[in-house]
């Protein structure tokens, strides 16, 4: 259980912040910190821990820019409260390249020029890592013809699974081949 | 004539220099600038569309622990210039549109700033407002000129007489929706006011031009340019919305000045962007086409009605492309505006050409149908010898070539008949032309210095994902006749020489020209073996400039559309574009820009729709859940190709600019394909299921 301490209530009956102590492992490094219980994982990473690899595009779960791997699965960090994830392990796009070598998905994005401005990119990459894992585990998608067969990394499968990540620069036509390349399909 | 650079690095497929930082997420965008002990700002917005603030109660906000400052018009500093009313934030009690800035809270954390902003109580005396664009709005007026300095109206010959006697005519009204730029990175700034230093104000701002942003801030706050630094190495997309600063930059500057020594961060929320960070006006386009039996145009008229805001005029040049696209002896174009109680419209990717290549390119398709002429052929028959607007010869015009090559690649000749059905899907194909003017800005300077055995060029340019970090070194390397690896180009900081805005697809043309001038100067001054520290600068205005030709990039786009007979679901499995856009400096980044533009055009055709609620004066669709943009699964086979075009008149690179042409004509190609598939002619964008459903078998 995280320790919870109450902040000073503001005048006019408006309560100020409530804080909680939590531990997170971010890109392999353990972090102990005190967070406002209203703080999202995204803001915890960006504003408290100085890890700006996940981006904020909407803060409402509508764009995918904040996608990270949360205990191994892709997740929208703007929709997760940090206090609810005490003890979690988080990997950002930067963490995928730990040790200085690019992850195959990152290399594929470079090879295919699967971005322009780069703002959606770390989220796209974490999402793609999640997609490849979900496909490996045999999870079907809306685009799967046969829900019981092992899915393949066809254009439609990849495009469908990557559709939670908006790219306003319109790099989709390069993102799909990049994900296929990283998945060993192209 | 300009002597074109011998291409060695130019034309080579070169990986983005900033690519690795972007795939790791370590490229630093404005709000992410690492600073000591930042404070966070959150705006307070007006909740009425027109009126006066009668009272503001900030006491509850100020009482919160950790709130540092609350600014409203009652305590904010008075600005040096309020000429630009968009920038005149917190200067009075007047509310001119819903969502206007009426206050700002700065606090120790972003959560607290938002909570405190919510706690600010504003009371208004509301006034009736008018925020609805109507074709017969009683207050329509003719602006003095339209964007980019184009004349408001043009006329030649007698359109009415030609229409009355022509063999075939099209007289229809088309409309485009209200579009919001929505770059994925919200408008954001980290601001530091440190009066004890020589350069007291530093703004790490997400902008398409550090120098234009600085000029605006200096004007508004009465500061000298030497005392302000604007930094922006990376921009998370702009599409015009970061081309000129918006009120948020003035607000964060004001907040920082109220907290000397403390860096202040302000990022607009996605919802706030819909009122504060630019959009494209909706347009209503009344078109008249008249042609003889062979399809030769006898008359072409476009009368545009669109909106601007009451506090600042922006007149989109929607009719501009109709003035030069096709030959016709009788012609007329007009622009009329309604000034409404709405947020300030501004640049969005290809202002003018984007909406202006919708109505006319659909009308051409309607004309082709009425004539029984192939729409590709109809365009070719109306190819003008010279620019119909200016009478000047073209620097190069390869529209016909683009149409023919596109038709070939797409398999146009073998296209299925109208109403063709494959299983549950009706299949149709459509074509439209694309165009964008070739521009070069008047002001930009580059320096080149020999440093530690390498050539370092500096210019305050911007890379919005366009590839400037990569493309400018390619140009510089060729201009210096050295290896690409021996060149470093630094951009995105007012510490570097002045650069023009990344807008009008003019960045490469302008900054590249300045770099070529500097490189030439460098070689003539220092020869082939310079000493460490040798440095020169070059201005774009020293580059030769051709005034005798009309310069545009042209293109043709082909779309295949499938419409589900049961649901009306619309798919675009193929979208091909062929462009004649001068010499392509980097095929890799160029392809991304072109397909990016086409994808945004697809988005305009099928998805984007700023639904306006005139009762309350705001976009009902004001986040990314409701304002739909094209997602990955909406995109099929999108291809961009280009001709090997050699234009000796534009600039030393032979480049025409490719950031915007891709979005022009796309929506028309899709609409024309939908018609071919279903027989439904959609004249108001976007094409949605309800518009085709009634006509399905
Ligand atoms: S920032 Fe989380 S989905 Fe947009
Ligand atoms: S690269 Fe700019 S939003 Fe995707």
Using CA positions, which residue lies closest to atom 3 of ligand 1?
A61
Interface A–B counts its CB contacts (< 8 A) at 216
Residue B46 neighbours by CB under 8 Å, 6+ apart? B53, B95, B97, B98, B99, B100, B101, B102, B122, B124
Atom of ligand 1 nearest to the CA of A78: 2
The 3-state secondary structure of A151-181, one letter per residue: CCCCHHHHHHHCCCCCCCCCCHHHHHHHHHH
List the domain boundaries for chain B.
Answer: 19-28+441-542, 33-128+182-276, 153-179+280-439+549-693
For B418-445, letters b (16+ CB in 10 Å) and e give: eeeeeeebbbbbbbbbbbbbbbbbeebb
Q: Are B554 and B432 in contact (CB under 8 A)?
A: no
**Which two tokens mark B476?**
């510089």
Give the nearest partner residue to B32 out of A43, A52, A92, using CB atoms.
A52
Tell me how close the Cα of A107 comes to any Cα of chain B, in angstroms. 8
Does the beta-carbon distance from A52 to B234 stay under 8 Å? no
Residues A117 and A169: beta-carbon distance below 8 Å: yes
pLDDT at position A26 is: 98
Tell me whether domains B33-128+182-276 and B153-179+280-439+549-693 share a fold: yes
Residue-wise pLDDT tens digits, B536-566: 999 999 999 999 999 999 999 999 999 999 9
Q: Which of B86, B185, B369, B660 is catalytic?
A: B660
Q: How far apart are CA B290 and CA B303, in angstroms?
A: 15
pLDDT for position A6 = 45
* Ligand 2 contacts CB of residue A109 (under 6 A): no
Please list, residue by residue across B574-604, b when 16 or more beta carbons sit within 10 angstroms of its beta carbon and e when fewer do: bbbbbbbbbbbbbebbbbbbbbbbbbbbbbb
Which among A43, A110, A173 is the nearest to B23, CB-wise? A110
DSSP string for B33-61: ---SS-EEEEEEE-SSSSEEEEEEE-HHH
**CB B269 within 8 Å of CB B244:** no
Q: Report pLDDT digits (tens) over B584-622.
A: 999 999 999 999 999 999 999 999 999 999 999 999 999
Number of the ligand closest to the Cα of A42? 1
Per-residue pLDDT band for A185 (boundaries 50, 70, 90) equals: confident
Residue A2 has pLDDT above 80, yes or no: no
- Chain A, 63 to 122: residues with Cβ < 8 Å from chain B are 63, 65, 92-94, 96-97, 102, 106, 109-110, 113, 115-122
So what's the pLDDT on residue A17? 79
Cα of B663 vs centre of ligand 1, distance in Å, is 26
Q: From 3.20.20.140, 3.40.50.720, 3.30.365.10, 3.40.50.300, which CATH number describes the B19-28+441-542 domain? A: 3.30.365.10
Q: Is the confidence metric ipTM above 0.85 for this complex? A: yes
Query: What phi, psi does B260 have (nearest 5°)?
Result: -55, 135
The reported pLDDT for the residue numbered B2 is 82
Residue A1 pLDDT > 50: no
8 Å CB contact between B275 and B613? no
pLDDT of A3 above 90 = no
CA-nearest of A83, A94, A106, A80 to A51 is A94
Cβ-defined contact of B625 to A62 (cutoff 8 Å):
yes
**Could you tell me if B234 and B28 are in contact, meaning their C-beta atoms sit under 8 angstroms apart?**
yes
What residue has token string 């008047």? B442
Q: Determine the distance in angstroms separating the CA of A34 from the nearest CA of chain B, rounded to an integer.
A: 13
Does the annotation mark B313 as catalytic? no
Q: CA-CA distance, B569 to B690, in Å (whole number)?
A: 9
Q: What pLDDT score was predicted for residue A15?
A: 57
Closest Cα to residue B573, out of B557, B563, B560, B558?
Answer: B560
Residue among B331, B300, B356, B391 at smallest CA distance from B146: B356
Question: Could you give the CA distance from residue A6 to residue B8 in angstroms, rounded to a whole number?
Answer: 65
Tell whether domain B153-179+280-439+549-693 is in CATH 3.30.365.10.
yes
Residue B349 is predicted with a pLDDT of 98
Token duo for residue B398: 């390869």
Q: Find tokens 């009008």 and name the residue.
A: B504
Instruction: Look up the CATH number of domain B33-128+182-276.
Output: 3.30.365.10
Q: Which residues of chain B have pLDDT under 70?
A: none
Strand partners, B302: B287, B333
pLDDT at A16: 64
User: C-alpha angle with apex B510: B506 to B511, nearest 5 degrees?
Assistant: 120
Q: What is the 3-state secondary structure (H, E, C) of B587-626?
A: HHHHHHHHHHHHHHHHHHHHCCCCCEECCCCEECCCCCCC
The encoded tokens of residue A60 equal 């409402």
Euclidean distance between CA atoms B211 and B695, whole angstroms: 53
Domains and CATH numbers, chain A: 3-91 (3.10.20.30), 104-182 (1.10.150.120)
Of all residues in chain B, the one with the smallest CA distance to A163 is: B632
Task: Count the Cβ atoms, other than its own, within 10 Å of residue B259.
Answer: 17
Residue A10 has pLDDT above 70, yes or no: no
- Is the peptide bond preceding residue B686 cis, with omega within 30 degrees of 0? yes
């Amino acid at each position: 259980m995280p320790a919870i301490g109450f902040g000073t209530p503001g005048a006019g009956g408006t309560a100020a912040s409530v804080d909680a102590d939590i531990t997170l492992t971010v890109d392999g490094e353990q972090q102990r910190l005190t967070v406002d219980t209203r703080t999202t994982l995204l803001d915890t990473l960006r504003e408290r821990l100085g890890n700006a690899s996940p981006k904020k595009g909407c803060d409402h779960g509508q764009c995918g820019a904040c996608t990270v791997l949360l205990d191994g699965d892709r997740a929208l960090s703007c929709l997760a409260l940090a206090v609810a994830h005490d003890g979690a392990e988080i990997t950002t796009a930067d963490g995928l390249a730990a040790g200085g070598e690019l992850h195959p998905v990152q290399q594929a994005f470079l090879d295919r020029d699967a971005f322009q401005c780069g703002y959606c990119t770390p989220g796209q990459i974490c999402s793609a890592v999640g997609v490849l894992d979900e496909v490996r585990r045999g999870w079907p998608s809306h685009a799967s013809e046969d829900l019981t067969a092992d899915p393949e990394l066809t254009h439609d499968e990849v495009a469908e699974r990557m559709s939670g990540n908006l790219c306003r620069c319109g790099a989709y036509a390069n993102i799909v081949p990049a994900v296929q390349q990283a998945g060993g399909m192209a | 004539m300009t002597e074109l650079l011998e291409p060695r690095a130019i034309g080579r497929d070169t990986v983005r220099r900033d690519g690795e930082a972007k795939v790791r997420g370590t490229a630093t965008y404005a709000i992410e600038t690492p600073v000591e002990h930042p404070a966070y700002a959150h705006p307070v917005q007006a909740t009425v569309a027109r009126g006066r603030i009668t009272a503001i109660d900030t006491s509850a906000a100020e009482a919160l622990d950790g709130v540092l400052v609350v600014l409203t018009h009652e305590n904010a500093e008075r600005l040096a210039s309020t000429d630009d009313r968009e920038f005149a934030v917190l200067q009075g009690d007047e509310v001119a549109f819903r969502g206007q800035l009426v206050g700002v809270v700065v606090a120790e954390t972003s959560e607290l700033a938002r909570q405190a902003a919510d706690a600010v109580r504003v009371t208004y005396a509301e006034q009736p407002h008018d925020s609805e664009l109507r074709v017969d709005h009683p207050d329509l007026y003719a602006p003095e000129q339209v964007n980019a300095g184009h004349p408001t109206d043009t006329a030649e010959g007698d359109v009415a007489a030609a229409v009355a006697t022509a063999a075939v005519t099209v007289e229809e009204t088309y409309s485009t929706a209200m579009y919001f730029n929505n770059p994925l990175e919200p408008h954001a700034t980290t601001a530091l006011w440190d009066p004890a230093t020589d350069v007291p104000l530093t703004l790490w701002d997400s902008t398409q031009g550090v120098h234009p942003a600085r000029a605006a801030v200096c004007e508004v706050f009465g500061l000298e340019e030497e005392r302000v630094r604007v930094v922006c190495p990376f921009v998370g997309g702009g599409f015009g919305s970061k081309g000129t600063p918006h009120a948020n930059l003035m607000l964060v500057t004001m907040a920082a000045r109220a907290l000397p020594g403390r860096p202040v961060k302000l990022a607009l929320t996605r919802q706030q962007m819909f009122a504060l960070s630019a959009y494209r006006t909706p347009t209503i386009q009344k078109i008249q086409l008249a042609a003889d039996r062979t399809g030769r145009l006898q008359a072409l008229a476009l009368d545009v009605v669109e909106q601007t805001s009451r506090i600042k005029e922006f007149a989109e040049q929607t009719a501009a492309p109709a003035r030069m696209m096709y030959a016709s002896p009788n012609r007329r174009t007009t622009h009329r505006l309604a000034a409404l109680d709405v947020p300030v419209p501004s640049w969005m990717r290809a202002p003018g050409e984007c909406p202006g290549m919708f109505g006319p390119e659909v009308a051409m398709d309607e004309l082709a149908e009425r004539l029984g002429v192939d729409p590709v052929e109809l365009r070719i028959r109306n190819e003008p010898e010279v620019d119909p607007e200016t009478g000047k010869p073209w620097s190069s015009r390869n529209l016909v070539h683009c149409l023919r090559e596109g038709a070939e690649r797409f398999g146009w000749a073998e296209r299925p008949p109208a109403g063709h059905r494959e299983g549950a899907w009706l299949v149709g194909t459509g074509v439209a032309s694309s165009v964008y003017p070739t521009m070069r800005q008047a002001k930009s300077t580059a320096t080149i210095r020999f440093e530690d055995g390498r050539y370092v060029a500096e210019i305050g340019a911007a890379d919005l994902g366009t590839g400037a970090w990569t493309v400018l070194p390619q140009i510089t390397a060729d201009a210096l006749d050295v290896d690409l690896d021996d060149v470093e180009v630094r951009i995105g900081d007012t510490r570097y020489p002045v650069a023009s805005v990344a807008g009008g697809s003019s960045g490469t043309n302008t900054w590249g020209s300045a770099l070529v001038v500097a490189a030439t100067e460098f070689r003539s001054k220092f020869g082939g073996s310079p000493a460490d520290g040798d440095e020169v600068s070059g201005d774009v205005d020293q580059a030769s400039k051709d005034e005798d030709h009309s310069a545009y990039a042209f293109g043709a786009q082909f779309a295949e559309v499938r419409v589900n007979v049961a649901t009306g679901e619309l798919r675009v499995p193929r979208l091909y574009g062929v462009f004649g856009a001068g010499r392509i400096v980097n095929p890799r980044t160029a392809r991304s820009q072109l397909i990016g533009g086409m994808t945004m055009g697809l988005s305009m055709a099928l998805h984007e729709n700023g639904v306006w609620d005139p009762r309350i004066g705001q976009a009902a669709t004001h986040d990314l859940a409701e304002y739909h943009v094209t997602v990955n699964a909406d995109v099929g086979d999108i291809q961009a190709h280009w001709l090997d075009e050699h234009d000796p008149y534009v600039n030393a690179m032979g480049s025409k600019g490719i950031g915007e042409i891709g979005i022009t004509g796309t929506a028309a190609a899709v609409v024309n394909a939908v018609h071919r598939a279903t027989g439904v002619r959609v004249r108001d964008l976007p094409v949605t299921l309800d518009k085709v459903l009634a006509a399905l078998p």
